């Protein structure tokens, strides 16, 4: 039975590999590493110290309340890998095994756990269990933001080699509700999804760039008063992923991103100067999206 499953997975891999090939050169992990080319050695060392200081004694990475968190641990993992801090990730693998041993997470935490387990654990039984739960949740449409949830599912599919689930996501694309007003993060997710499966993206790109502010950042919605780093990073990543020319807005974006860097980390916007691991990930993702 297991050999039949492997055979089916290999067939789907052959069918879907051309669609997912963009992730080989444009995955978040790859783009994150590109950001380092725009930073000097001193800044990189400051970021390394910031990331190390955010690791919880449990091995996971801490949220703003200084609690170990699966969601923040994924950001810490990506940052540590990009910064070649692999020595601290063994403890993160232990954190994931301990937490999933207590109970299987749900929602975003489930997807984060699946990526972390696949990268940091040899427990194939655990990985299969996490992927099974992801497929079940996808089928039940539990995610509040279906588009962003599907983007995370696609990222999990790519990193774990779950090509059968990628096919389900491809078939589901046409079912997403697409009202006129969508947050930048959701538009960005749709662009990555459509671009991955060779669907048209020009109209989505136009809508997303309409939420760019001349000061260098993207707003969550067109009428939002302020820009933020999450919207900016997601937008720049999606536009780069879909081969949109960022040349004209690049200088303003670089200035905006730089203005949010504080003592080794990034903050979310100019009204909230508290740095954290999540926004540090988004800061480097935004920079990497602008790197040549």
pLDDT tens per residue across span 30-89: 999 999 999 999 999 999 999 999 999 999 999 999 999 999 999 999 999 999 999 999
Mean pLDDT of 126-136: 93
Q: What is the pTM of this model?
A: 0.91
Termini Cα distance of the chain: 47
3-class state of residue 55 by DSSP: strand
Q: How far is CA 198 from the centre of its chain?
A: 20
Tell me the pairing of strands 265-269 and 61-62.
unpaired
Measured between alpha carbons, how far is 196 from 96 in angstroms, rounded to an integer?
29
13 pLDDT band (50/70/90 cuts)? low
2 pLDDT band (50/70/90 cuts)? very low
- Mean residue pLDDT of the chain comes to 89
Residue 210 has pLDDT above 70, yes or no: yes
Q: What is the pLDDT of residue 281?
A: 97
User: What are φ and ψ of residue 68, in 5° steps?
Assistant: -65, 135
In the structure encoding, which two tokens stand for residue 280, read together?
């540090």
Map out the domains of the chain as residue ranges. 54-175, 178-292
Q: What is the pLDDT of residue 180?
A: 67
In the structure encoding, which two tokens stand for residue 215, read together?
């000061």
Of residues 288, 283, 285, 280, the one with CA closest to residue 64: 280
Q: Which helix (H) or strand (E) holds 273?
A: strand 272-276
Q: Give percent of the chain above pLDDT 70.
A: 89
Mean pLDDT of 135-164: 77
Residue 6 has pLDDT above 90, yes or no: no
3-class state of residue 111 by DSSP: helix
Residue 278 has pLDDT above 80, yes or no: yes
Q: Are 264 and 275 in contact (CB under 8 A)?
A: yes
Q: What is the pLDDT of residue 147?
A: 74
4 pLDDT band (50/70/90 cuts)? very low
1 pLDDT band (50/70/90 cuts)? very low
Q: Are 258 and 267 in contact (CB under 8 A)?
A: no
Q: Are 72 and 64 in contact (CB under 8 A)?
A: no
pLDDT tens per residue across span 93-113: 999 999 999 999 999 999 999
Mean pLDDT of 190-194: 90
Give the chain's length: 292
Helix orientation angle between 163-172 and 2-20, rounded to the nearest 10 degrees: 50
Q: What is the pLDDT of residue 49?
A: 98
pLDDT tens per residue across span 215-261: 899 999 988 989 999 999 999 999 999 999 999 999 999 999 999 99
Please tell me which residue, 83 or 157, carries the higher pLDDT value: 83
């Amino acid at each position: 039975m297991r050999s039949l499953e492997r055979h089916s997975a290999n067939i789907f891999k052959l069918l879907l590999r051309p669609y997912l090939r963009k992730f080989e050169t444009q995955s978040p992990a790859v783009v994150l590493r590109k950001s380092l080319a725009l930073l000097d050695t001193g800044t990189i060392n400051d970021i390394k110290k910031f990331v190390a200081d955010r690791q919880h004694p449990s091995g996971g990475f801490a949220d703003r309340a200084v609690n170990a968190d699966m969601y923040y641990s994924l950001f810490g993992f990506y940052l540590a890998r990009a910064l070649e801090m692999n020595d601290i990730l063994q403890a993160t693998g232990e954190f994931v095994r301990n937490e999933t041993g207590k109970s299987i997470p749900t929602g975003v935490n489930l997807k984060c756990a699946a990526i972390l387990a696949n990268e940091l654990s040899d427990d194939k039984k655990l990985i299969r269990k996490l992927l099974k739960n992801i497929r079940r949740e996808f089928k039940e449409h539990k995610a509040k933001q279906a588009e962003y949830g599907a983007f995370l599912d696609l990222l999990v599919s790519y990193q774990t080699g779950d090509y059968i689930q990628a096919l389900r996501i491809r078939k589901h694309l046409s079912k997403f509700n697409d009202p006129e007003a969508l947050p930048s993060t959701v538009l960005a997710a749709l662009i990555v999804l459509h671009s991955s499966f060779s669907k048209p993206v020009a109209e989505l790109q136009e809508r997303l760039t309409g939420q760019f502010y001349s000061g260098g950042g993207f707003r969550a919605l067109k009428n939002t008063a302020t820009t933020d780093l999450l919207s900016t990073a997601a937008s720049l990543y999606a536009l780069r992923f879909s081969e949109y020319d960022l040349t004209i807005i690049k200088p303003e974006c670089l200035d905006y991103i730089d203005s949010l860097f504080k003592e080794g980390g990034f903050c979310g916007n100019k009204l909230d100067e508290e740095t954290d691991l999540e926004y540090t990930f988004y800061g480097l993702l935004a920079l990497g999206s602008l790197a040549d």
